[in-house]
Chain A
Amino acid sequence: MEETMRLALKTVYTIWLREAKTFVREKFRVIAMIGQPLLYLAVLGNGINSGVTLNGSGGINYLTFMYPGVIGMSILFTSIFSAVSIIWDREFGFLKEVLVAPVPRWAVALGKTLGGATIAIVQATILIFIAPVIGIHLSPGIIVEMWIMTFLIGVALTSLGIAIAARMSSMQGFQMIMNFLIMPLYFLSGAMFPLSSAPAWIKALMTVNPLTYFVDGLRNILFSGTTMASGGLVRRTIVEVATGAGLIRWSLLFDLSVVSLVAILLTATGAYRFSNQTE
């Protein structure tokens, strides 16, 4: 039993290290990971910000509102991509080397999941340094909370990707994932528009999207250390204003609980499906 556990942990570590090593070597991926969200913020965020104000936002500008959403988007993309590399490994044969090794497959899936989560944390850490430019104050507490939240959603999304990629044999399926999974998850996460003002059917879809709770949680975290003028001389934190205006929907504790639960369920699903694939 102890021996099995030692082997499993060794496997998790090995797979994790490979994920990390190959990630660093793919310069294209690193550039895309940092460049894409910057582009969204600089062009889309600023463009919308200059022409649009959110209804009853209590003075929170669009760029501030969108910033946590853009972090959520980029983590979504990276995590799913991490997992989808399984299809890549299958096409290029490397997956066979892993599947025929005398190691528990769930440990392979777990290593892959942790690799995806690690990359998500690195990415979020880089993106958080834009915060001061947007007028958001950071503190060590905020960064630690963000790491925890990002780790959980990274685990959840990578596992979701593994669960899908475990049964997919060609890169052709990848376009399907892109169009019918990643984009809807993003659009329906509250990253671009608030849930409170959305039509009922969109609201329903947003409520079942785990990414919604991550974006909401991230707003809770990032907006907690910054105050703004609110009605005369009173200053309140952006969290309070945003909660009052319906831009933040739930408490951080609730968001964290939902994301944790989803992470556990998806990790189990991903590991199960990866273990039961043939070749």
Chain B
Amino acid sequence: MNIIHVENLVKKFGAITAVDDIQLEVESGQIFGFLGPNGAGKSTTIKILATLLRPTAGKAAVAGFDVLANPNEVRRSIGLVFQDQSLDDRLTAQENLWFHAMLYDLPSSLFAERAEAVLRIVDLLDRRHSLVRTFSGGMKRRLEIARGLLHHPKVLFLDEPTLGLDPQTRNAIWKHVKALREGKGTTVFMTTHYMEEAEHCDKIAVIDHGKIQAVDSPARLKRMIGGDKIIVSGDDSLSDDIKTAYAVEVQKIGNDVHFQMAAGAEFVPRLVSDFAGRIKSIQVKEPSLEDVFLRLTGHSIRAQEASSLDQMRQAAQLWRRR
């Protein structure tokens, strides 16, 4: 059985369906990404898998244990790095780790060695005896990741792990996550709404409105787009002419004409000769996950953010009225 197994999972909050009948299989040792806009149901799914929320219907198992029947076994098998911070800032870095080690029943003989190792990974060894309240946002996040690794979990859940971090820290964290997978075979299950970040994953599930739209590797998902994106600018009738000449779907955005074409770079000379004198500029872009998302859901991940925020506000109002 796979390390994460989700079957017909549903979670409703009142009238709102946050997770709508999803299926998921994550193989051991994978870095699995959950890509979607805010409010798509990513965090809700993680919370169910981590036994913090009870599903409305369906089944979920982590490391072979059912989240409802054996929550304690599930908790013992996982590490969790939350979207918002969960450290005690009145304790030092080392004390936060000690607290975690105690709750996860790590033998005290192992603690010193493990704490040093994880603090070294996140480059906080020299600050181990400082109070967490003196840490910057990035340092806190790194400490949380260190804490998540302390008990050598089989599955590490990262909920928007690099949210609000500078690119340098983000890269460092990715380096550690990958090293961890290589070294310990840890399965990493992460959520993100950053496209660049999803590129690091072995497999991505694209989720929108609580439904999974597609699951595959980033490369295969991009192949689904059916070629590179070509952006041409030129005279006004160019758009219609390209459409009839190559039998492709075109999109007119401002003065630019967008269309997809396999092996875009090799296609450019033909385009130039076919429309000699009519083209001002040509751009060829490899498809991005943003394009994949657009294709799958019909909207861009950024545009969705505003409306999902509205949804959350509505939900909050509903809740208050009860």
A99: Cβ under 8 A from any B Cβ: yes
With beta carbons under 8 angstroms apart, the residue of A11, A18, A93, A96 that contacts B91 is A18
> Are A278 and B54 touching (Cβ within 8 A)?
yes
Contacts of B54 in A (CB 8 A): 278
Contacts of A278 in B (CB 8 A): 52-54
Chain B interface residue number, banded: 20 to 34
Q: How far is the CA of A89 from the CA of B85 in the complex (A)?
A: 11
Contacts of B102 in A (CB 8 A): 10-11, 13-14
B90: Cβ under 8 A from any A Cβ: yes
Contacts of A97 in B (CB 8 A): 86-87, 99-100, 103, 147
CB distance from B113 to the nearest CB of A (A): 20
Stretch at the interface among A20-28, A175-183, A234-242, A252-260: A20-28
With beta carbons under 8 angstroms apart, the residue of B72, B73, B86, B103 that contacts A96 is B86
CB distance from B118 to the nearest CB of A (A): 15
With beta carbons under 8 angstroms apart, the residue of B82, B84, B87, B91 that contacts A21 is B91
Contacts of B82 in A (CB 8 A): 93, 96
- Return the chain A residue nearest B74 by Cβ: A102
B51: Cβ under 8 A from any A Cβ: yes
B50: Cβ under 8 A from any A Cβ: yes
> Are A102 and B99 touching (Cβ within 8 A)?
no
The number of residue pairs between A and B whose CB atoms lie closer than 8 Å in the complex comes to 68
**Given A92-B89, A94-B87, A279-B47, does the pair A14, B105 have CB atoms closer than 8 Å?**
no
B80: Cβ under 8 A from any A Cβ: yes
B104: Cβ under 8 A from any A Cβ: yes
With beta carbons under 8 angstroms apart, the residue of B50, B88, B90, B95 that contacts A100 is B50
- Return the chain A residue nearest B102 by Cβ: A14
CB distance from B105 to the nearest CB of A (A): 6
> Are B75 and A93 touching (Cβ within 8 A)?
no
**Given A21-B95, A92-B85, A279-B47, does the pair A98, B53 have CB atoms closer than 8 Å?**
no
Annotate A240-279 by CB proximity to B: 1 below 8 A, 0 otherwise: 0000000000000000000000000000000000000011
15 contacts between A and B (CB under 8 A): A14-B99, A14-B102, A14-B103, A92-B85, A92-B86, A93-B84, A95-B86, A96-B80, A97-B99, A97-B100, A100-B80, A101-B75, A101-B104, A102-B72, A278-B52
